[in-house]
């Protein structure tokens, strides 16, 4: 009789666990403020959870670096990032599931339209804002351009890209290294006119990646849900709503992607003159 | 009036009342404000607390939001704990699916009393909200704020407000007390002045000292004005009071000294005052009479029946009107003696008409009644002869007619008229006439001393004799004896001897007679006929006697004339008197009276005038003619003719005729020269003295007279001399046939010559032929009148 009760309790405990599995931690690289990031991603993750049946929970670090640190510390299961293509992190084994369905991102050095700075050389010795020392288009690509042009500037890390743009607008810095898409959206939202001093080659935007401990099945379900959003009216509505939350000019969907789509990242990171912060 | 009557005294002074009222009012306002504001402030505090809790919740959520997104639960705990320590937060709690934290702090120790908190009952609000970002719920945040600071704030506000009210109340009380004190000083001055006036110092006035409020100052001024007015009134009253005392004394003396007795009673008829004369008449002294009913002091009885008579004062009090005592009332004095009195009682009324009492004024009329009785007796006696007079005879005849009609008694009445009495009067004067009457009536009275005879003088030389219970033959026998005795009677005066006769008309009373007028008329008719037979005749009235019938017919005219007067059927005609003498410009007319019969036919005066003259209606005609002619002349100023009016013999003897004519003349303001009167020669001679007086009176005012029908009567040149007439109207009998009758011509010529010699003008009447007119012109007659010249025409009055 005693064994029967123990068996029943274990069965019930199992059943309960199966009914509400622990969600996967989905980390998002800090491109915007915490509030904007959460406002943008929570609806999307809710949709993907519903469609895929794989529960996802948004996890954000205070900064992009902290978010990346959580990835490297194994605290996250999924990530939307482009910080994992450095040689050292590439070895963590994360795999690409999908990417933002955009033309790609470029790293730019921009000044205000009213600024007298007309060239990269004019920035020599001046403070230039960047998102953080780990950002690809927000630091590595524009700083690489400056280094390759032989211009030494005083880097100022604002925390995220929009903060760097805010310092540019307030006049604290002479220029800012930015993701061209984020900059365009910011300028549109604030009616800002700016001038591009340096523009890089295009790179695919951040990738939805899964850690090696995520099963292939769950990974595929998540990929399918992300990719299928643009085909699903509900998914489109979610994307548009998320875009409105952050003032994005377009509701970008997701496209299927694999490791090859990010080889140019790996190549740049191997050859860049900027010291990598891994 | 008691000054305190009708005024309910209050326990507190005016100041206490005002201060109390203001205190109560402010206290009430304080409580009302406190309650009103309290509710409002509590609501506001509640809302503020809820808002503060919401704000605090919002602050918590802002503070922990990033930590929630980062899922940094320790940081969340620290943030919540730290904020909870620094704010008045009773509870701050965050609960998420994998995390729960709650921080509590004890409530602040209140400084306000517990009852205030209980009364305020301000609950601690709990605000809760889910922490959602992008549609994902990160947990639920709950915050509860401590209401104690709000309660303390309200308590502090209440305390400050209360102190403010207390200070305000104290200041108001002090200020109000100070103001009232200032005004009370003015009122005290008013009170002192009023008391001074009350004690008789009418010169006391309120000083208009500085510092008084305008209202008190105005009141003082009004008081002083009132005091001035009262002072004047009192002075006037004192003066009037002194006058009244004098008047009262004068009235008392007057009432006590007047000959009339005066009794004054109250409204119940109880005596309040009785003057000495009343004491004397009633036999009651003033002290005994006072308070007694007036009917007791003045018991009244009918003089004839002895029946009690209601006191007129009682009637006056009951009826609120003046009442006069019935005649023949007497009072019975305490001694038993009676006293005839006459009195008048009147109520004494207030201005509102309420009866306050009554006054009875009476006097002793015992003597007067005795005199009245004597006068009454004298009224039935003829003062000249001592016989019964006409009134006594009429009374006796009325009683006799009643005896005939009711008891079948027999009465004979005879009308006695002396013949040739006028001759004595005219030749020897009235004294002789009076003496004659006295002697003759003494003779008659001796024969009529028995109770079967009632002899009276009816007027002038006319007597009446009533036989009681006598047959006609017996009466006639008596009458014949009396006539014979009068025939034998001789009257001597101034060596002249006069022999008289007597005409007697007799009638027997019977039940068919309606009134004494009929008795007198029958006897008079018979007497008239007896006289017409030549005198010293006795005529018994017989209804079917032709001569008496004629006379009776004349009597019928009396009623006909009366009716015609009432129906206004008399009309005026005029006939011109044509002037033959030169220098007479105005036309002359004689006014003639005509009667329009009921059938419209004009009746000549010959028909009705004899009856009118005989039965005394002629003066009425004369006055009617005068009045109507004068009215005509007044309303027809275009008619400037001269008019002559006829006057009857009765009017001549009427002493009022002259006054009447003159009054009418003055009334219409007519020229007297246009008016003349014509009197017949006979009438003038019959009333010679009166006629002479009348002519003289009216002539003095310019009215002329004409002697009418001159020559027809027993003309005497002496009469002509005495009567100052301006015209002689020659009788028509002489004028007619003048042109061929030598006698008439001679007479007319003689009369005309005589008249002219006496300064009179002549008028020839009834001229109907040219021959007559020619003769008259030749004779130089001044006026001619007749159908030849002008027929009488109606005088158009309208």
Delimit the domains of chain B by residue range.
14-170, 258-371, 380-542, 569-794
Report whether pLDDT(B68) > 60. yes
Question: Do A194 and A260 have their domain in common?
Answer: no
Whether residue B9 has pLDDT greater than 70: no
Nearest CA in chain B to A239: B134
Distance of CA B10 to the CA centre of its chain: 56
Task: Nearest by CB to B136, from A34, A42, A61: name it.
Answer: A42
A143 and A259 part of one domain? no
Position A8 scores a pLDDT of: 39
Give which of B135, B137, B138, B139 to mutate to test A binding, by max A Cβ within 10 Å: B135
Q: Which of A153, A168, A199 is the last residue of a domain?
A: A199
Residue A90 lies in a domain: yes
Residues B391 and B457: their CA atoms lie apart, in Å, by 10
- The three-class DSSP label of residue B511 is coil
The residue assigned the tokens 């390759």 is: A148
Q: Which parts of chain A have pLDDT scores under 50?
A: 1-19
What is the CATH architecture assignment of B569-794?
Answer: Alpha-Beta Barrel (3.20)
Give the residue on A whose Cα is nearest the Cα of B72. Answer: A61
User: How far apart, in Å, are the Cα atoms of B407 and each of B394, B411, B474, B511?
Assistant: 19, 12, 20, 10
% pLDDT > 70, chain B? 96
Question: Measured between alpha carbons, how far is B73 from A24 in angstroms, rounded to an integer?
Answer: 19
Q: Does B70 touch chain A (CB under 8 A)?
A: yes
Contact status, residue B672 vs residue B702, Cβ threshold 8 Å: yes
User: Does one domain contain both A111 and A231?
Assistant: no
For residue A82, the model assigns a pLDDT of 87
With residue B424 as reference, give the H or E element that holds it.
Answer: helix B421-428
What tens digit of pLDDT does each residue of B287-323 get? 889 999 988 888 888 887 788 888 888 888 888 888 8
Q: A42 vs B70: CB contact, 8 Å cut-off? A: no
At residue B590, the 3 state secondary structure works out as: strand
CB contact (8 A) between residue B70 and residue A43: no
Beta bridge partners of A24: A56
Q: Give the rounded percent of residues in chain B with a pLDDT score beyond 90.
A: 25
Q: Is B354 on the interface with A (CB under 8 A)?
A: no
- Architecture in CATH of B380-542: 2-Layer Sandwich (3.30)
CATH number at residue A113: 3.40.190.10
Residues of B in contact with A61 (CB under 8 A): 70
Q: What is the mean pLDDT of residues B731-747?
A: 87
In a domain? residue A116 = yes
The reply to whether A97 and A115 lie within a common domain is: no
Which of B53-57, B59-63, B370-374 is the least confident region? B370-374
Whether B69 and chain A come into contact, CB under 8 Å, resolves to: yes
Residues of B in contact with A30 (CB under 8 A): none
Q: What is the DSSP letter of B481?
A: H
* Domain shared by A97 and A208, yes or no: yes
Selection from A78, A23, A79 nearest residue A54 by Cα: A23
Q: Which of A38, A40, A45 sits opposite B69 (nearest CB)?
A: A38
Has residue A9 been placed in a domain? no
Which residues in chain B are closer than 8 Å to A28, comparing Cβ atoms? none
Contact A35 B71 (CB under 8 A): no
Token pair belonging to B10: 């209050």
Mean pLDDT across the stretch B405-433?
A: 86
Which CATH code fits B258-371?
Answer: 3.30.450.20
pLDDT value, residue B102:
93
Q: Check CB contact under 8 Å for A42 and B66.
A: no
Tell whether B198 is within 8 A of chain A (Cβ).
no
Answer yes or no: is pLDDT of B197 > 60.
Answer: yes
Of A41, A61, A62, the CB nearest to B134: A41
- Token pair, residue B330, equals 């007497």
Query: Which domain-ending residue is among A176, A199, A222?
Result: A199
For residue A182, give the nearest of A141, A123, A153 by alpha carbon.
Answer: A141
Are A47 and A178 members of one domain? no
With beta carbons less than 8 A apart as the criterion, state whether A62 and B68 touch.
no
Please report, for residues B86, B237, B474, B687, the alpha-carbon distance to residue A39 in angstroms, rounded to integers and kept in the order given.
31, 111, 175, 162
State the pTM of this model.
Answer: 0.42
Report chain A residues whose CB lies below 8 A from the CB of B133: 35, 38-39, 42
Radius of gyration over alpha carbons of chain B, in Å?
A: 62
Task: Decide if B339 contacts B281 (C-beta within 8 A).
Answer: yes
Q: How far is B98 from chain A (nearest CA, A)?
A: 11
Fold equal for B258-371 and B569-794: no
Whether residue A241 is contained in a domain is answered as yes
**What gap in Å lies between CA A184 and CA A213, rounded to an integer?**
37
pLDDT at residue A7, as a whole number: 41
Averaged over B748-756, what is the pLDDT? Answer: 88
Q: How many helices (H) and strands (E) does chain A have?
A: 10, 11
Residue A41: which domain range?
A: 25-103+204-271
State which of A146, A169, A199 marks the end of a domain: A199
Write out pLDDT tens, residues B367-383. Answer: 877 777 777 766 788 88
Distance from CA of B70 to the nearest CA of A (A): 6
Residue A16 within a domain: no
For helices B546-566 and B516-532, the axis angle rounded to 10 degrees is 130
Closest CA of chain A from B75, distance in Å = 13
Q: In chain B, whose CA is at the least distance from the CA of A40?
A: B134
Residues 134-173 of B with CB under 8 A from A: 134-136
> What is the spatial distance between Cα A220 and Cα A226, in angstroms, rounded to a whole number?
10
Second-level CATH architecture of B14-170: 2-Layer Sandwich (3.30)
Same domain, A213 and A184: no
User: How confident is the model at residue A115, as a pLDDT?
Assistant: 94
Which of B69, B97, B98 would best serve as a mutation to test chain A binding (most A beta carbons within 10 A)? B69
Inter-CA distances, A45 with A49, A254, B392, Å: 6, 13, 162
Domain count, chain A: 2
Q: What confidence category does residue B715 fall into, taking pLDDT thresholds of 50, 70 and 90?
A: low
Q: How far is CA A104 from CA A41, A47, A181, B764, in A?
A: 19, 24, 9, 177
Same domain, A245 and A195: no
Helices (H) and strands (E) in chain B, counts: 26, 29
pLDDT value at B655 more than 50: yes
Name the average pLDDT for chain B.
86
Helix (H, G, I), strand (E, B) or coil at B292: coil
* Closest approach of B30 to chain A, Cα-based (Å): 54
Using alpha carbons only, what angle is made at residue B221 by residues B215 and B227, rounded to the nearest 5 degrees?
A: 135
Same domain (yes/no): A180, A218: no
| Domain-embedded: residue A5 | no
Q: A75 vs A59, A213, B138, CA distance in Å? A: 9, 11, 19
Facing residue for A39 by CB, picked from B70, B71, B134: B134
Chain A residues with a Cβ under 8 Å from any Cβ in chain B? 34-35, 37-43, 45-46, 58-62, 242, 245
pLDDT the model gives residue A15: 39
Q: Is residue B7 over pLDDT 70? A: no
Q: What mean pLDDT do residues B134-154 have?
A: 90
Whether A132 and A180 map to the same domain: the answer is yes
CA atoms of A261 and A79, how far apart (whole Å): 16
Phi, psi of B124 (to 5 degrees): -80, 120
Strand-pair category, B570-579 with B793-794: antiparallel
List CB contacts of B662: < 8 A, sequence separation 6 or more. Answer: B697, B698, B701
Torsion of CA B718, B723, B724, B729, to 10 degrees: -100
Q: Is residue A18 part of a domain?
A: no
Question: How many contacts (CB atoms, under 8 Å) link A and B?
Answer: 37
Is A35 within 8 Å of B135 when comparing Cβ atoms?
Answer: no
In a domain, residue A19? The reply is: no
The answer to whether B98 contacts chain A (CB < 8 Å) is no
Distance CA A59, CA A78 (A): 10
Please tell me which residue, B212 or B112, carries the higher pLDDT value. Answer: B112
Pick the more confident residue, B562 or B482. Answer: B482
CA A149 to CA A153: how far, in whole Å?
11
Tell me whether residues B70 and A60 touch, CB distance under 8 A.
Answer: yes
Residue of chain B minimizing CA distance to A60? B70
pLDDT of the residue at B664: 92
Contact at CB, B70 and A39, closer than 8 angstroms? no
């Amino acid at each position: 009789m005693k064994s029967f009760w123990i068996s029943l309790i274990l069965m019930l405990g199992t059943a309960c666990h199966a009914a509400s599995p622990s969600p996967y931690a989905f980390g998002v690289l800090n491109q915007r403020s915490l509030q904007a990031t959460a406002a943008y991603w929570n609806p999307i993750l809710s949709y993907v959870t519903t469609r895929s049946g794989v529960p996802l929970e948004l996890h954000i670090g205070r900064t992009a670096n902290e978010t990346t640190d959580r990835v490297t510390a194994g605290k996250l299961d999924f990530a939307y990032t482009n910080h994992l293509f450095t040689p050292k992190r590439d070895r963590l084994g994360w795999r690409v599931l999908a990417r933002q369905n955009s033309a790609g991102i470029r790293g730019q050095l921009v000044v205000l339209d009213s600024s007298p700075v007309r060239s990269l050389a004019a920035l020599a010795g001046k403070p230039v804002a960047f998102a953080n020392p780990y950002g690809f288009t927000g630091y590595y690509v524009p700083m690489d351009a400056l280094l390759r042009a032989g211009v030494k500037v005083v880097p100022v890390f604002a925390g995220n890209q929009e903060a760097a743009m805010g310092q540019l607008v307030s006049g604290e810095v002479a220029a800012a290294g930015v993701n061209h898409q984020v900059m365009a959206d910011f300028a549109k939202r604030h009616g800002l006119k700016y001038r591009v001093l340096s523009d890089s080659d295009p790179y695919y935007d951040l990738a939805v990646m899964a850690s090696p401990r995520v099963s292939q099945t769950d990974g595929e379900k998540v990929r399918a849900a992300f990719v299928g959003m643009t085909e699903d009216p509900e998914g489109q509505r979610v994307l548009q709503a998320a875009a409105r939350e952050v003032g994005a000019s377009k509701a970008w969907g997701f496209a299927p992607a694999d490791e090859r789509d990010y080889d140019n990242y790996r190549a740049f990171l191997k050859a860049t003159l900027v010291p990598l912060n891994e | 009036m008691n000054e305190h009557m009708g005024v309910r005294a209050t326990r507190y002074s005016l100041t206490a009342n005002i201060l109390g009222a203001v205190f109560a009012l402010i206290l009430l306002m304080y409580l009302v404000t406190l309650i009103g504001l309290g509710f409002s402030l509590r609501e506001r505090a509640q809302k503020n607390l809820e808002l503060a809790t919401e704000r605090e919740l919002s602050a918590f959520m802002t503070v922990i939001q990033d930590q929630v997104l980062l899922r940094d639960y320790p940081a969340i705990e620290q943030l919540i704990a730290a904020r909870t320590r620094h704010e008045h937060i009773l509870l701050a709690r965050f609960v998420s699916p994998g995390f729960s934290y709650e921080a509590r702090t004890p409530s602040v120790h209140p400084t306000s009393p517990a009852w205030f908190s209980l009364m305020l009952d301000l609950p601690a609000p709990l605000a809760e909200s889910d922490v959602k970002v992008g549609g994902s719920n990160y947990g639920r945040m709950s915050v509860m704020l401590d209401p104690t600071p709000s309660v303390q704030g309200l308590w502090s506000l209440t305390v400050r407000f209360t102190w403010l009210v207390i200070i305000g109340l104290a200041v108001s009380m002090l200020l109000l007390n100070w103001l009232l004190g200032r005004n009370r000083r003015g009122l005290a001055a008013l009170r002192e002045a009023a008391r001074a006036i009350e004690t008789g110092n009418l010169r006391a006035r309120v000083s208009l000292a500085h510092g008084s409020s305008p209202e008190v100052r105005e009141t003082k001024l009004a008081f002083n004005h009132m005091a001035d007015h009262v002072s004047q009134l009192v002075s006037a009253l004192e003066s009037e009071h002194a006058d009244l005392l004098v008047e009262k004394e004068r009235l008392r003396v007057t009432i006590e000294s007047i000959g009339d007795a005066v009794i004054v009673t109250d409204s119940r008829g109880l005596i309040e005052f009785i003057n000495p004369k009343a004491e004397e008449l009633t036999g009651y002294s003033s002290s005994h009479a006072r308070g007694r009913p007036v009917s007791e002091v003045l018991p009244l009885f009918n003089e004839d029946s002895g029946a009690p008579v209601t006191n007129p004062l009682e009637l006056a009090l009951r009826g609120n009107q003046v009442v006069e005592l019935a005649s023949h009332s007497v009072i019975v004095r305490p001694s038993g003696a009676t006293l005839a009195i006459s009195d008048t009682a009147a109520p004494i009324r207030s201005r509102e008409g309420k009866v306050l009492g009554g006054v009875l004024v009476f006097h002793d009329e015992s003597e007067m009644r005795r005199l009245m009785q004597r006068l009454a007796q004298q009224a039935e006696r003829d003062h000249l002869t001592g016989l019964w007079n006409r009134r006594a005879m009429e009374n006796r005849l009325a009683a006799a007619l009643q005896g005939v009609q009711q008891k079948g008694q027999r009465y004979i009445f005879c009308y006695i008229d002396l013949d040739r009495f006028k001759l004595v009067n005219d030749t020897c004067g009235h004294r002789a006439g009076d003496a004659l009457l006295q002697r003759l009536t003494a003779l008659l009275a001796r024969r009529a001393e028995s109770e079967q005879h009632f002899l009276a003088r009816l007027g002038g030389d006319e007597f009446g004799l009533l036989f009681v219970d006598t047959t006609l033959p017996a009466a006639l026998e008596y009458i014949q004896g009396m006539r014979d005795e009068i025939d034998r009677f001789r009257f001597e005066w101034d060596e002249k001897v006069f022999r008289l006769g007597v005409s007697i008309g007799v009638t027997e009373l019977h039940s068919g007679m309606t009134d004494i007028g009929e008795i007198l008329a029958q006897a008079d008719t018979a007497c008239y006929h007896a006289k017409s037979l030549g005198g010293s005749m006795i005529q018994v009235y017989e209804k079917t006697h032709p001569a008496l019938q004629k006379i009776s017919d004349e009597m019928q005219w009396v009623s006909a004339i009366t009716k015609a007067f009432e129906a206004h059927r008399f009309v005026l005609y005029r006939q011109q008197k044509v002037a033959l003498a030169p220098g007479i410009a105005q036309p002359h007319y004689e006014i003639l009276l005509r009667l329009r019969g009921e059938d419209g036919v004009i009746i000549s005066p010959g028909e009705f005038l004899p009856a009118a003259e005989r039965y005394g209606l002629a003066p009425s005609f004369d006055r009617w003619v005068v009045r109507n002619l004068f009215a005509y002349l007044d309303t027809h100023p275009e008619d400037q003719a001269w008019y002559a009016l006829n006057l009857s013999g009765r009017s001549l003897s009427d002493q009022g005729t002259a006054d009447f004519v003159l009054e009418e003349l003055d009334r219409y303001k007519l020229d007297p020269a246009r008016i003349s009167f014509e009197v017949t020669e006979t009438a003038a001679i019959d009333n010679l003295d009166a006629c002479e007086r009348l002519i003289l009176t009216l002539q003095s005012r310019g009215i002329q007279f004409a002697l009418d029908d001159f020559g027809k009567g027993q003309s005497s040149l002496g009469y002509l001399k005495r009567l100052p007439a301006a015209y002689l109207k020659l009788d028509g009998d002489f004028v007619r046939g003048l042109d061929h009758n030598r006698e008439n011509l001679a007479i007319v010529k003689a009369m005309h010559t005589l008249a002219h010699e006496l300064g009179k003008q002549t008028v020839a009447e009834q001229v109907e032929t040219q021959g007559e007119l020619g003769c008259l012109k030749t004779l130089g007659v001044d006026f001619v009148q007749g159908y030849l010249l002008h027929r009488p025409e109606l005088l158009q009055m309208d």
